[in-house]
Amino acid sequence: MNDFLPYGHQVIDDEDVRAVVEVLRGNMLTCGQHVEQFEQAVSEYCGSGGAVAVNSGTAALHAALLGAGVGPGDEVITSPITFAATANAVLYLGATPVFADVSSETLLIDPEDVRRKITSKTRAVIPVDYAGQPCDYDALRSLATTGERPFSIIADACHSLGAKQGSRNVGALADATCFSFHPVKAITCGEGGMIVSDDQELLTRARRFRSHGIDKTFKDRQRLGSAVYDMLELGYNYRLTDFQCALGASQLLKLDSFISQREKTARLYDDFFRDEEHIASLSVLPQNKHAWHLYVVRLNLEAFRLSRDELVAALYSLGIGIAVHYRPVYLHSYYQSLGYDQGLCSKAESAWNEILSLPIFPGVGQPDVERVVTSLKEYLR
C-alpha cells in the first residue's frame, strides 16, 4: 500500500548517508573513534557525566541494571505499561520484576504504588517515560533515598530522549538513563542504545559488560602494547558499530527539530480532540517538556460502533498504522507462566483496552492528521 501511514518512521537525509559511507570507507568499522564521539555527543546533549553505547535499548537496560548491582534475589519495580524488554532485562539478571500501577491520566508509573511495592529486596526502580514524557522523578527520588535501604533509579527513556523536566534534561534525572535508537525512536542507528549516567563506576561496569566482561578493550591493549587481557565476569557482545554511531551522531544534530515537528503534530491532534468527549488525549504534567514519541488517545468504547481491536483492523484497512502501546507486560503468556496474577495493576489493565497510538513522526502533516481523525470519528456511534 503506497499511502500507508505508519505510527512511527525514521527520517534519513543525505547528511546521514554521507556520515555512514565515510565510516564504511575508513579503517575501523567497530571499536573506533565514532563510538566515543557519539557517546560524548549524547552525554553532552543530556548533561550527564558519561555514556556507554550499546547495540540496543534492551542491552542498555541490561547493562545499566548490572552496573547498578542488580542480581539474583533482588526485586526491581517497574511499570506494566511498557515494552516487554524493560522487565525482561530484570529477568536476564536473575532478579524479579515487580509491577507498580500507573496513573490513569498519564500512564506513567504512580509513585504512591511504587511506595506500596517496596520491600527489603528492592534494588532498583525502572520508571518508563511513557510516550515521551518524564515520570515524577522528584517523588521517585525521595522514595529511593529515604527508605531503610536506598535503591537505584534506572530510567527507561527509550521514548523520551530530548524531553525535559523543569530545567533538567532526560538523562540527568535518574542514576542511569537508557535510550534506544531503533528506527521508530527519536533518532536512529538502525539498532542501537545508550546508557548515560554520572556514576563512573556504573558506566565502567556497563562498558566492560558490553564486551564480554573483559577488562581491556582492543584500544587499551594497543595503547599498553600488551596482548594480555582478563575476563572478569560474564558479559555479552553488546557493541555498537562505528558506522551506526556515525549515523546516530548525524541524527542527533536534528533531534531538536524532529521533536518540534512531532510537537506540531501533537498540537494538531490536541485541537481535534479537545471538544471530542469520547476521545481523550493523555495529560502532560506541567513541569514536563514532552518528546512526543507517541500520541496516545483513550477511547470511550461505549460510544464506538467497533471494539478497540476491530477499530485497529478497520483503520489498518484504510492504510492507517495504528499501534497499541502496551499490553501490560505481565499479561503476556510468558509472564503469566511465571505466576503473575491478572488484575495486579487495575488501572494499567483498563487503560490497555482503551488506548490507541496515532501516527506521529517528523513528516506527519496536517492532511495526515485530518485523515486519521476523520477516519477515527467515522466509527463513533
Contacts with ligand PLP by CB under 6 A lie at 56-58, 82-83, 85-86, 128, 156, 158-159, 180, 182, 193
Cell of 2: 503506497
Are 29 and 242 a contacting pair, CB within 8 Å?
A: yes
Beta bridge partners of 126: 78
What is the C-alpha separation between 338 and 334, in angstroms, rounded?
Answer: 7
Which residue number, 35 or 128, has a Cβ lying nearer to ligand PLP? Answer: 128
What string of H, E and C letters represents the secondary structure of 112-132?
Answer: HHHHHHCCCCEEEEECECHHH
Of residues 61 and 364, the one with the C-beta less far from ligand PLP = 61
Dist CA 187 CA 164 (whole Å): 16
CA 41 – CA 28 distance, rounded (Å): 19
Kindly tell me which of 83 and 352 has the beta carbon lying closer to ligand PLP: 83
Q: How far apart are CB 83 and ligand PLP at their closest, in Å?
A: 4
For residue 107, the minimal CB distance to ligand PLP (Å) is 12
Distance CA 378, CA 372 (A): 10
Write down the least CB distance from residue 272 to ligand PLP, Å.
Answer: 25
Write out the three cell numbers for 114: 511504587
Distances (CA, A) of 84 to 76, 81, 278, 335, 378: 14, 9, 29, 10, 33
Count CA atoms within 13 Å of residue 59 on its CB side. 24
CA distance 92 to 231: 20
**Residue nearest ligand PLP by beta-carbon distance:** 57
Q: For the CB of residue 191, give the shortest distance to ligand PLP in the complex, in Å.
A: 6
Q: Which is nearer to ligand PLP, 43 or 56 (CB)?
A: 56
Between residues 169 and 177, which has the closer beta carbon with respect to ligand PLP? Answer: 177
Cβ within 8 Å of residue 180, ≥6 positions away: 56, 57, 58, 60, 158, 192, 193
Report the alpha-carbon distance of residue 371 to residue 91 in Å, rounded: 42
Which amino acid is residue 140, in one-letter code? L
Least distance to ligand PLP, CB of residue 317, Å: 26
Q: Which is nearer to ligand PLP, 245 or 376 (CB)?
A: 245
Cβ-based nearer residue to ligand PLP, 126 or 373: 126
For residue 166, count other CB atoms closer than 10 A to its CB: 13
DSSP state at residue 279: E
Closest CB 323 distance from ligand PLP, rounded Å: 11
Least Cα distance to 273 among 258, 292, 295, 302 occurs for 295
Q: Which of 185, 219, 289, 377 is catalytic?
A: 185
Residue 240 is classified by DSSP as P
185 given a catalytic annotation: yes
Smallest separation, CB 149 to ligand PLP (Å): 26
Which residue numbers are catalytic? Answer: 185
